[in-house]
């Protein structure tokens, strides 16, 4: 009965969001987001799905399991993903990073109890964050329009095709023949990742005057930064001037593992917002891959 009620509320909110999106103005729209009315409707659906279903489960999961256990689950799935991360580093012409990724898999699998412990990190082998969308970006393929995918969350045409067509297809979990086992692993990964982002999501709720625009701008900037390994080329002034869609946001608290401090300054989101995790993880789908591991560990959002 409770589950049925939650589904009804979810559908009602999604329908309302779709209806209201038709009233959205197109004046001053971000040129990277030509499908904003549709994207907003899907964003509302994802937000409702998260609020009524995924978030409560993640909260119960975090309350039931101690942090070391949750960290072990994160490390296990992270170890699985390192294989594809290494392949993408190789495709991007970064053999040294690819070798590090492969060494991480070998070390963590053998000495880290199947990847539950990140022994490689303690040995100086840092975790990388790569996927096929980034590889396509490095190959010079443009991002295309911004998209919000049901359940998958923020994306672009390029990243969406890469994620659905390639990243998910090579996901080791997807190759498991036993459906019940595969779905169980998907569910655990989704809930565990969402549990690691509970604090970050709460801060974002407090920071964003328009959560849709905040997530969109943060996602696009974060993806651009990832493609160029944190050193993206400067955008042409003409392109920046052609995108007047600025959303003023309150700077969220700058908090780490052990402390939280309030901040009250306001900045234009499309100049300064930078989520230190994949924004798509807020509406996580179990096949999207883990967020930046440092961000998952700390739940941190940083606006710079």
3-state SS, one letter per residue, for 99-142: HHHHHHHHHHHHHCCCCCCCHHHHCCCCCCCCCHHHHHHHCCCC
Residue with the bigger pLDDT between 176 and 304: it is 176
Averaged pLDDT of the chain:
78
- Return d(Cα 209, Cα 207) in angstroms, integer: 7
- Return d(Cα 108, Cα 118) in angstroms, integer: 6
Write out the two tokens for 90: 């190789």
Which of 62-66, 226-230, 240-244, 294-298 is most confident?
Answer: 62-66
Map residue 244 onto helix, strand or coil: coil
Please name every residue paired with 254 in a beta bridge, in sequence order, or none if there are none: 261
Q: Residues 86-97: pLDDT tens digits?
A: 999 999 999 999
Q: Residues 96-111: pLDDT tens digits?
A: 999 999 999 999 999 9
Q: Residues 110-145: pLDDT tens digits?
A: 999 999 999 999 999 999 999 999 999 999 999 999
To the nearest whole percent, how much of the chain has pLDDT over 70? 68
Q: What does the pLDDT read at residue 74?
A: 98
Per-domain residue ranges of the chain? 2-20+29-303
Give the number of C-alpha atoms closer than 13 A to the C-alpha of residue 225, restricted to the C-beta side: 16
For 174, residues 6+ apart whose C-beta sits below 8 A from its C-beta are 168, 182, 287
For 150, residues 6+ apart whose C-beta sits below 8 A from its C-beta are 42, 45, 46
- Return d(Cα 100, Cα 277) in angstroms, integer: 21
Task: Give pTM, 2 decimals.
Answer: 0.72
* Residue among 85, 177, 194, 179 nearest 133 (CA): 85
* Residue among 56, 49, 55, 283 nearest 149 (CA): 283
- Return d(Cα 146, Cα 29) in angstroms, integer: 12
* Longest CA span, the chain: 57
Across 23-38, average pLDDT: 72
Q: How confident is the model at residue 205 (pLDDT cuts 50, 70, 90)?
A: confident
- Return d(Cα 125, Cα 100) in angstroms, integer: 6
* Residue among 142, 164, 146 nearest 155 (CA): 146
Q: How confident is the model at residue 239 (pLDDT cuts 50, 70, 90)?
A: low
Write out the two tokens for 132: 């096929």
Across 190-209, average pLDDT: 91
Q: How confident is the model at residue 255 (pLDDT cuts 50, 70, 90)?
A: very low
Predicted confidence (pLDDT) at residue 291 exceeds the cutoff of 90: no
**Which residue blocks in the chain are alpha helix, DSSP H?**
2-21, 36-49, 55-64, 67-91, 95-111, 119-122, 132-138, 157-162, 179-196, 198-207, 211-227, 237-241, 269-272, 293-298
- Return d(Cα 148, Cα 46) in angstroms, integer: 9
Q: What does the pLDDT read at residue 240?
A: 53
């Amino acid at each position: 009965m409770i589950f049925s009620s939650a589904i009804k509320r979810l559908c009602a909110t999604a329908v309302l969001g779709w209806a209201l999106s038709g009233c959205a103005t197109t004046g001053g729209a971000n040129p990277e987001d030509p499908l904003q009315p549709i994207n907003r409707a899907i964003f509302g659906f994802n937000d409702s799905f998260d609020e009524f279903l995924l978030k409560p489960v993640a909260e119960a999961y975090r309350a039931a399991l101690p942090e070391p256990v949750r960290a072990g689950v994160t490390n296990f799935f992270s170890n699985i993903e390192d294989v594809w991360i290494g392949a993408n580093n190789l495709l991007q012409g970064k053999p040294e990073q690819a070798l590090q990724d492969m060494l991480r898999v070998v070390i963590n699998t053998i000495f880290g109890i199947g990847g539950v412990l990140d022994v490689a990190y303690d040995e100086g082998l840092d975790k990388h964050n790569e996927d096929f969308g980034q590889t396509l970006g490095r190959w010079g393929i443009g991002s295309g329009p911004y998209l919000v995918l049901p359940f998958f969350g923020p994306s672009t045409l390029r990243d969406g095709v890469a994620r659905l067509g390639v990243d998910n297809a090579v996901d080791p979990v997807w190759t498991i023949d036993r459906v019940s086992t595969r779905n169980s692993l998907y569910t655990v990964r989704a809930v565990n990742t969402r549990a690691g982002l509970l604090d970050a999501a709460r801060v974002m709720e407090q920071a964003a005057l328009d959560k849709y625009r905040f997530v969109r701008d943060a996602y696009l900037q974060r993806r651009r930064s990832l493609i160029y390994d944190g050193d993206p080329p400067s955008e042409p002034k003409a392109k920046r001037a052609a995108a007047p869609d600025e959303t003023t946001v309150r700077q969220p608290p700058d908090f780490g593992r052990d402390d939280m401090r309030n901040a009250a300054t306001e900045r234009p989101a499309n100049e300064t917002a930078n989520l230190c995790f994949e924004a798509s993880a807020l509406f996580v789908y179990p096949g999207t891959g883990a967020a930046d591991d440092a961000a998952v560990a700390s739940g941190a959002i940083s606006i710079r």
